[in-house]
Structure 1
Amino acid sequence: MTTLSPALKAETLVEALPYLQRYAGKTFVVKYGGHAMGDPEAARDFAEDVVLLKAVGINPVVVHGGGPQIGRMLKRLGVESRFVDGLRVTDKETAQIAEMVLAGSINKEIVGWIAQAGGRAVGISGKDAALVQAEKVGGRREADKLQGIERHVDLGFVGEPVAVDTRIIRSLSAEGIIPVIAPIGMGADGHTYNINADTMAGAIAGALGAARFFLLTDVAGVLDKSGTLLTDLDPAAIAALRADGTISGGMIPKLETCVAAVEAGVDAAVVIDGRVPHAMLLEIFTRQGAGTLIHR
């Protein structure tokens, strides 16, 4: 059985009691990646938290990334990586390697961590039971600074979700099993597509009507211009912060995913620092929370 650190026991477990009934039977979708994924101690903490959620009657669903691990494998195999707008240009060879890393080593490692924490997990990808149908992402414009022109770049086997069949997730959850999902989908054209893990997790959360969609990152959440954490945002506030430049860079697509999820029926999305031990529990079961809550 999983245990909390002493620092969390008194506050978290006492304050958690009113919340347990509120969330019993609800689904939480967690996008797992970043620093926490590469740190064994953080991975153990994450697995313990997921097992605890399941033990108190919540149905956690884990969707994981793996960009750095794919990059290392490609480098080891002598395959050069190229990115456009943060998306890896993915030819057939790269797509096969990505699937091997995501649906193979990373997926099963997370399943193993959960098992060690006392839980039951099954690793799948979006291809299993036609969970996620994908379509090819459109090309991007890339500037050629040497020639002073823009060129169209075909991203190859990079996809985005267009349909989610949640039956396999619901079946696993009903059997007391935690689904661990790799961001790979199948297209109607029969091709396998690599999908951005944030996007895939948000699509799954929306399809499930999740009570919470947690997007674990390497930052505390959304910060204002003075560096103060913004704890509560809605789509209008996000649009205003983006317009005045407070939100920029890699945070923009993450918040777009969160907004899309809540507009699809998720009660709330949370951008949270996955480097903080037990961050999800702090967000759910304490008054002060631990990240940025996005709601309608």
Structure 2
Amino acid sequence: MQKKIDTVKTLMDAMPFIKEFRDEIVVIKYGGSAQTSDELKAKFAQDIVLLHLVGVKVVIVHGGGSRISQLLNDLKIPTEFIDGERVSTPEVMRIVEMVLSGEINKEITSLLNSYGAKAIGISGKDAHFLRAKPKDEAKFGLTGRVESVNADVIHNLLREGFIPVIAPIGSDPIVGHPGYNINADLAASAVAAAIGACKVIFMTDTPGVLNKDKELFSTLSEAEVEALKADGTISGGMVPKVDSCLEAVDMGVKKAHIIDGRIEHAILLELFTSEGVGTQITL
């Protein structure tokens, strides 16, 4: 009986958060860290379906860098990174789109649908909803940056009860253009701002932002993030993660979160508990 009572108490504790986020849009960047096992994939799908059932409007943006690198290696196609970003030659771009749109996007969509969701997979090329431009064509080739987002595409899907699953391939109006390889974190920030999301959540392979004693910061302001970057507390691979968060809040998203995608039900723990599980970043 006590176990049943505890279950009800957990539901009651979550009720204020469920009320807060009902009818709100939450963008989730689903990274490879949360896709490392079938069990984690299943927990992720369960989280998304539950959010949908309680009225949260979920939009998913996914990456796939490790899978892209693996296939390029298998095909003996050379790939180069500059400042942590992939140089996207036309040959590399074909593989990027094949993996992101043709494989990972369909896998995530099928997974969610198998748990009862109404997920629909799209790329930024569909209806030209993610217009992009080169980051630096001479240096990075077809690696791009989001120029504009057609928010109506996503709003129409949400209105019809779908969960959009977005592959970050940018479009170009030139006929026959191969498109652009867009960093998934930056794509998630741009989409979140354009569609009026209240939150953007980045699922990563780290607990969040840590201090020099390896303790978690639960909340940081933009000014605090910049100070931690300046003194070296935030460094290495965490820099682009917090920069994506800052870009989102600078464009109008109320809160951005970095959470550990390796934790089971990390999304529900972040949204529906007072403690959360990662680092929240605000203006």
What stretches of structure 1 of length at least 5 have no aligned partner? 1-5, 140-152
Structure-2 separation of matches of 1:168 and 1:185: 14
State the one-letter code of the partner of 1:165: N
Q: What is the Cα deviation at residue 273 of structure 1?
A: 0.2
Structure-1 separation of matches of 2:133 and 2:8: 48
State, as a whole percentage, how many aligned pairs show the same letter. Answer: 45
Is 1:222 matched up with 2:222? no
Q: TM-score, normalised by structure 1?
A: 0.90
Structure-2 separation of matches of 1:206 and 1:12: 32
Deviation readout 1:138-165 (Å, 9 max, x if unpaired): 26xxxxxxxxxxxxx6211100101011
Partner residue in 2 for 1:76: 74
Deviation readout 1:76-107 (Å, 9 max, x if unpaired): 21112211111111110110111011001100
Q: What is the Cα deviation at residue 10 of structure 1?
A: 5.4
Structure-2 separation of matches of 1:265 and 1:40: 35
Structure-2 separation of matches of 1:86 and 1:12: 42
Partner residue in 1 for 2:200: 213
Q: Aligned ranges for residues 1-296 of structure 1 at < 5 Å?
A: 9=7, 12-138=10-136, 154-189=139-174, 190-296=177-283
Structure-1 separation of matches of 2:8 and 2:66: 37
Q: What is the Cα deviation at residue 11 of structure 1?
A: 5.9
Greater share of residues in helix: 2
Structure-1 separation of matches of 2:11 and 2:186: 32
Structure-1 separation of matches of 2:36 and 2:121: 18
Q: What is the Cα deviation at residue 254 of structure 1?
A: 1.2
Deviation readout 1:231-287 (Å, 9 max, x if unpaired): 001110000000110000111111111111111111100000000001111111111
How many equivalent residue pairs? 277
**Deviating runs (4+, > 4 A) in structure 1?**
8-12
CA-atom RMSD in angstroms: 1.5
Work out whether residues 282 and 289 of structure 1, in 8 Å CA contact, stay in contact via their aligned partners in 2: yes
Structure-2 separation of matches of 1:75 and 1:9: 48
Deviation readout 1:45-102 (Å, 9 max, x if unpaired): 1111011111000100000000011111111211122111111111101101110110
State the one-letter code of the partner of 2:244: T
Work out whether residues 134 and 145 of structure 2, in 8 Å CA contact, stay in contact via their aligned partners in 1: yes
Task: Assess, with a 3 A threshold, how the Cα gap between structure 1 residues 12 and 268 changes in structure 2: closer, same or farther.
Answer: farther
Structure-2 separation of matches of 1:188 and 1:233: 39
State the one-letter code of the partner of 2:150: D
Greater share of residues in strand: 1
Structure-2 separation of matches of 1:55 and 1:282: 16
Task: Assess, with a 3 A threshold, how the Cα gap between structure 1 residues 162 and 18 changes in structure 2: closer, same or farther.
Answer: same
Work out whether residues 135 and 188 of structure 1, in 8 Å CA contact, stay in contact via their aligned partners in 2: no
Q: What is the Cα deviation at residue 19 of structure 1?
A: 1.6
Q: What is the Cα deviation at residue 34 of structure 1?
A: 2.2
Work out whether residues 136 and 187 of structure 1, in 8 Å CA contact, stay in contact via their aligned partners in 2: no
Q: What is the Cα deviation at residue 211 of structure 1?
A: 1.0
Q: What is the Cα deviation at residue 12 of structure 1?
A: 4.3
What stretches of structure 2 of length at least 5 have no aligned partner? none
Q: What is the Cα deviation at residue 187 of structure 1?
A: 2.4
Work out whether residues 44 and 265 of structure 2, in 8 Å CA contact, stay in contact via their aligned partners in 1: yes
What's the secondary structure of 2:93's corresponding residue?
helix
Structure-2 separation of matches of 1:287 and 1:97: 42
